[in-house]
Amino acid sequence: MATKPPQGDPVQDAPEVFEPKHAAAGLPAVGHTLRVARQQMGVRRAALTLLRVNQKDGFDCPGCAWPEPDHRHRAEFCENGAKAVAEEATLRRVTPEFFARHSVSDLAARSGYWLGQQGRLTHPMYLPEGADHYEPVTWERAFDIVAQEIAALDSPDRAVFYTSGRTSNEAAFLYQLFARELGTNNLPDCSNMCHESSGSALAETIGVGKGSVLLEDLYRADLIIVAGQNPGTNHPRMLSALEKAKANGARIISVNPLPEAGLERFKNPQTPRGLTGGTALTDLFLQIRIGGDQALFRLLNRLIIETPGAVDEEFVREHTHGYEEFAAAARAADWDETLTATGLTRAQIEEALGMILASERTVVCWAMGLTQHKHAVPTIREVVNFLLLRGNIGRPGAGVCPVRGHSNVQGDRTMGIVERPAPAFLDALEKEFGFAPPREHGYDVVRAIRALRDGEAKVFFALGGNFVAATPDTSVTEAAVRRARLTVHVSTKLNRSHVVTGARALILPTLGRTERDVQAGGEQFVTVEDSMGVVHASRGTLEPASPHLLSEPAIVCRLARRVLGERSRVPWEEFERDYAAIRDRIARVVPGFEDFNARVARPGGFTLPHAPRDERRFPTATGRANFTAAPVEYPKVPEGRLLLQTLRSHDQYNTTIYGLDDRYRGIRNGRRVVLVHPDDARALGVADGSYVDLVGEWSDGVERRAPGFRVVHYPTARGCAAAYYPETNVLVPLDATAEVSNTPASKSVVVRLEQSATD
Ligand SMILES: Nc1nc2c(c(=O)[nH]1)N[C@H]1C(S)=C(S)[C@@H](COP(=O)(O)OP(=O)(O)OC[C@H]3O[C@@H](n4cnc5c(=O)[nH]c(N)nc54)[C@H](O)[C@@H]3O)O[C@H]1N2
Ligand SMILES: Nc1nc2c(c(=O)[nH]1)N[C@H]1C(S)=C(S)[C@@H](COP(=O)(O)OP(=O)(O)OC[C@H]3O[C@@H](n4cnc5c(=O)[nH]c(N)nc54)[C@H](O)[C@@H]3O)O[C@H]1N2
Ligand SMILES: [Mo]
């Protein structure tokens, strides 16, 4: 069995460049899936494990949050889901001997890829103050250390409790309960960097901060607009849904600065047709400039308003608020300005309008291409205006579809992982558990970094994730985290956040979702919520990676007992014994979860209520769906500079790097590449294959530099560039965030290219 770590140390980054692909999946994807799975798990384990993914009696894929269809294939996973599973089910191990061999300074010099490839963490580990080696520690002592540091704080608000979106509903509910009983709302989570802009914009305009469509709606749509999303890599199972929609007659417009292979053509490996030509998905490709979406939708809205009979007047009258003010702003939309902002032609926009007017049922899907900009929230509000105009919310085949990232990021929010909790949620907690939760708002991700930087926060605890690599302004953030008294990570795999630490540090190894979870009350399952609000069970089947692992719920329960002691009103022991007891409490606190245990026992689970989708009821401040009329904004880039977006390759899951290829974009064996339009590259005097430093320019005057990127001439929109995250997070200023949502603007960084010294 091949369980050797990859060669090279750190792994050599030497990009080779080929023609980009024009279709996704197909047989090559099947081949890659099997190879990756075999390398990490061996043949037998690979086969047994992959067949349990997303089955009604198996575990939820730890990859993306795309929902499972009702009629499942025997293989209801995709190439990238298989990679996510293989990463977790790997046979490689990071043991106490590993930490004895490798000092923290040694590990800090390795690449994130190398760290992740070392395998699963097997023991709780402790880094004492001043030491350079982690040493094994008992669970009891680990919890003592956390309790000691928390007890030394002059306020619970000096502690920060971060969550990444793989955490189950049960663990998330307990975690927020613990933080609030301790006395803080400092509950930043990965959502702050992800779909926070969608949540903010949707809550304000339609009254629910979640998507309003189910899979059936996609199948019934006449028109699907996919804006700012790369499903071929990040939500591959969505391609099957788009294929089905097309078979039912839907048309698709993609709005993206890059031509993404998955949106061009899908070769479904589960159909005979997919093994030959596949299905063309996109009917109209709008190759937009980065950040031009608000201007595009605003002009489309003007054109709809100006077309007699195009506005659904009855819907607007009966269900909306603010139409007149919005319509006045929309009528002022200017063609020339829109063409500048978007880089599109008049003919393209008119063609899009024709398709929009011909559609009775329209869905708009989006992801990070819309959410990670300074004006992300007004952009998404404009998408809502667009749908409201033609009554496209709250009826079959139509609606908003923000496609979530982490497999349970939406559920974590539903369970109360929010730094600005709704008073009604806190009231329900208080009634159920009999303590008074804090009411002041806590820190989100960016504010937590500032608090660490300024010495306001002293204890940093993370339930999953890789905080220092995923967050912006790497040098600032790493220095901030190093000021903490204690950093604690509940993790499955080694990552950068374990080696950039506070004065003391702990690694608490936990079960992955693929693994069997046995507690005193017997074998347990957990639950998750997908991107469309469907809640279902996930039951691990593999033997745990080590006998020393605790589940996330068990870790939170033991931590809470140790930290809160006698003063706690919560039956932590009972919760650890049997997760059904946690679900009984969730049922009483969180709306939509009534009778939770019974309903989640049904195969496929249940769908949470969604007032706009189910009853065309909009629980906003006005009691109606709100049109909004923000001024149009788009990034203005000085001469000789490019607008850089930081995105994912096909071989990574956020900060977890699976490999060094980005197959669809024709990149192999390297990640330090920058994609630039050939005409821009020529104007800037940078040849294909030359090496440049990316130098960020931001109003604070600080120079941020990411050295040594190979230039790749690539057909992106003019004036734009693209490079992979997390390597480019060093370029994203901490204060460059979206209005309202405070999400780092990691898709629009102004950069100049400088020839690398080494070139
Ligand atoms: N395999 C795999 N799956 C994943 C992940 C992963 O890393 N790997 N990550 C998960 C997570 S947490 C998330 S949030 C999702 C992310 O899913 P995506 O949002 O698809 O991820 P990104 O790679 O950031 O891609 C952003 C897309 O938006 C486009 N874009 C950039 N700027 C703009 C713009 O201004 N306007 C428009 N219209 N388009 C723009 C880019 O060209 C790109 O196609 O995927 C989830 N699934
Ligand atoms: N520049 C730039 N920055 C970005 C983005 C971008 O597009 N550009 N995207 C942002 C987005 S959308 C997101 S969601 C964030 C992601 O931010 P995070 O969620 O913090 O990062 P991940 O890389 O997903 O976390 C990976 C780590 O999670 C741990 N892990 C994996 N599975 C489990 C589990 O089951 N339990 C526990 N306890 N731990 C587990 C492993 O130790 C692994 O190393 O990054 C954001 N940062
Ligand atoms: Mo995300």
Cβ-in-10-Å burial (0-12, 13-18, 19+) of 580 comes to: middle
Decide: 228 in ligand 1 pocket, CB within 6 A. yes
Q: What is the DSSP string of 421-479?
A: --HHHHHHHHHHH-S----S----HHHHHHHHHTTS--EEEEESS-HHHHSS-HHHHHH
Tens of pLDDT, residue by residue over 595-612, are 999 999 999 999 999 999
Q: Taking 60 as the threshold, does the pLDDT of residue 524 lie above it?
A: yes
Average pLDDT score, the chain: 95
- Is residue 232 within 6 Å of ligand 1 at its C-beta? no
Ligand nearest, relative to CA of residue 658: 1
- Report whether 204 contacts 750 (CB < 8 A): no
Nearest CA to ligand 1 atom 42: 258
- Bridging pattern class, strands 251-255 and 265-267: unpaired
Mean pLDDT, range 514-518, rounded to an integer? 97
The contacts of residue 424 (CB under 8 Å, 6+ apart) are none
Q: Which atom of ligand 1 is nearest to the CA of 648?
A: 23
The finding on whether 234 has its CB within 6 A of some atom of ligand 1 is: yes
Range scoring the smallest mean pLDDT among 270-274, 298-302, 449-453: 270-274
Give the closest ligand to the alpha carbon of residue 367.
1
Average pLDDT over residues 52-66: 85
- Above 70 in pLDDT, residue 672? yes
Q: How far apart are CA 614 and CA 206, in angstroms?
A: 13
Residues 226/229/230/236 CA torsion (nearest 10 deg): -70
pLDDT at 726 > cutoff 50 = yes
Residues 680-689 have a mean pLDDT of 97
CA-nearest residue for atom 30, ligand 1, is: 369
DSSP 126: E
Q: Which of 536, 534, 538 is nearest to 610 (CA)?
A: 534
pLDDT score recorded for residue 55 = 81
The pLDDT tens digits of the residues spanning 11-31 come to 568 899 999 999 888 778 778
Instruction: Identify the band that residue 1 occupies on the pLDDT scale cut at 50, 70 and 90.
Output: very low
d(CA 107, CA 558): 29
DSSP 481-493: HHT-SEEEEEESB
Q: Give the ligand 1 atom nearest the CA of 650.
A: 1
Q: What pLDDT, on a 0 to 100 scale, did the predictor assign at position 11? A: 57
Give the pLDDT score at 74: 64
Ligand 1 atom closest to the CA of 230, numbered from 1: 20
Tokens of 547: 């006998």
- Residue 9 confidence (pLDDT): 47
Residue 543 sits at the vertex; the CA angle it makes with 538 and 546, to the nearest 5 degrees, is: 115
Q: Is 260 in the pocket of ligand 1 (CB under 6 A)?
A: yes
| Residue 395, amino acid | R
| Cβ of 405 below 6 Å from ligand 1 | yes
64 C-alpha to ligand 3 centroid (Å): 9
- Containing 646, the helix (H) or strand (E) segment is strand 642-647
Q: Is the pLDDT of residue 272 over 80?
A: no
User: Count of alpha carbons within 13 Å of 171, Cβ hemisphere only?
Assistant: 32
Q: What is the pLDDT of residue 78?
A: 82
**Span 116-122, mean pLDDT?**
97
Residue 270: pLDDT band with limits 50, 70, 90: confident
To test the ligand 2 pocket, which listed residue (170, 193, 370) has its Cβ within 8 A of the most ligand atoms? 193
At 5, the pLDDT band (50, 70, 90 cuts) reads very low
Please check whether residue 186 is in contact with residue 443, taking contact to mean a CB–CB distance below 8 angstroms.
Answer: yes
Beta bridge partners of residue 400, listed in sequence order: 364
- In this predicted structure, which of 90-94, 221-225, 266-270 has the lowest mean pLDDT? 266-270
Strands 704-713 and 673-676, bridge-based pairing: parallel
354 contacts: CB under 8 Å, gap ≥ 6:
none
Ligand 1 geometric centre to CA of 110 (Å): 26
The dihedral through the CA atoms of 402, 407, 409, 411 has a sign that is: positive
Q: What's the confidence (pLDDT) of residue 35? A: 82
534's enclosing H/E stretch is strand 534-538
The answer to whether the CB of 320 falls within 8 A of the CB of 355 is: no
- Minimum-distance ligand 1 atom for the alpha carbon of 290: 35
Condensed to tens digits (0 to 9), the pLDDT of residues 176-209 reads 999 999 999 999 999 999 999 999 999 999 999 9
Q: What is the pLDDT of residues 125-155, one digit of tens each?
A: 999 999 999 999 999 999 999 999 999 999 9
- Ligand nearest to the CA of residue 368, numbered in listed order: 1
Q: Looking at residues 677-700, what average pLDDT do you find?
A: 97
What percent of the chain shows pLDDT beyond 90? Answer: 87
Given a cut of 70, whether residue 4 has pLDDT beyond it is no
All structural domains of the chain, each given as residue ranges with its CATH number in brackets, are 17-88 (no CATH), 121-190+408-605 (3.40.50.740), 196-403 (3.40.228.10), 642-755 (2.40.40.20)
Q: Which runs of consecutive H residues, i.e. helices, occur in 74-132? A: 79-89, 96-101, 104-108, 112-117
Q: Specify the higher pLDDT residue, 82 or 300.
A: 300
Of 194, 292, 229, residue with least CA distance to 741: 194
> Would the pLDDT of 309 be above 80?
yes
Report pLDDT for 626: 98
Q: 184-193, 277-286, 576-585: lowest mean pLDDT where? A: 277-286
Q: What is the side-by-side order of every strand in the sheet holding 223-227? A: 284-286, 251-255, 223-227, 362-366, 399-402
Least confident piece of the model among 27-31, 324-328, 364-368, 603-607: 27-31
Cα–Cα distance, 692 to 679 (Å, whole number)? 17
pLDDT classification of 484: cutoffs 50, 70, 90: very high
Q: Strand, coil or helix: what is 143?
A: helix
Q: Which of 163, 409, 645 to mutate to test the pocket of ligand 1 (most atoms within 8 A of CB)?
A: 645
pLDDT digits (tens, 9 = 90+) for 625-638: 999 999 999 999 99
Distance from the alpha carbon of residue 366 to the mean position of ligand 1, in angstroms: 9
DSSP 505-529: EEEEEB--TTB-EEETTEEE-EEEE
Name the residue of 168, 290, 492 to mutate for ligand 2: max ligand atoms within 8 A of Cβ: 492
Q: What is the pLDDT of residues 226-244, one digit of tens each?
A: 999 999 999 999 999 999 9
Instruction: Say how many C-beta atoms besides its own lie within 10 A of residue 707's C-beta.
Output: 15
- Looking at the predicted structure, is the pLDDT value of residue 43 above 90? no
369 CA → ligand 1 middle, Å: 6
Q: What is the mean pLDDT of residues 373-377?
A: 98
Q: How many residues in total does the chain contain?
A: 759
Kindly tell me if the per-residue pLDDT of 651 is higher than 90: yes
Q: How many contiguous H segments (helices) and E segments (strands) does the chain have?
A: 31, 33
CA of 367 to the centre of ligand 1 (A): 6
Residues with CB under 6 A from ligand 2: 164-166, 190, 193-194, 368, 372, 405-406, 463-467, 470, 490-493, 495, 510, 512-513, 552, 646-647, 654-656, 725, 728-729, 732, 746
Nearest CA to ligand 1 atom 11: 405
Beta bridge partners of 49: none
158 Cβ contact partners less than 8 Å away, ≥ 6 residues apart: 456, 457, 458, 459
- Which pLDDT band, with edges at 50, 70 and 90, does 307 fall under? very high
Q: Which among 234, 17, 7, 233 has a CA at the least distance from the CA of 111?
A: 7
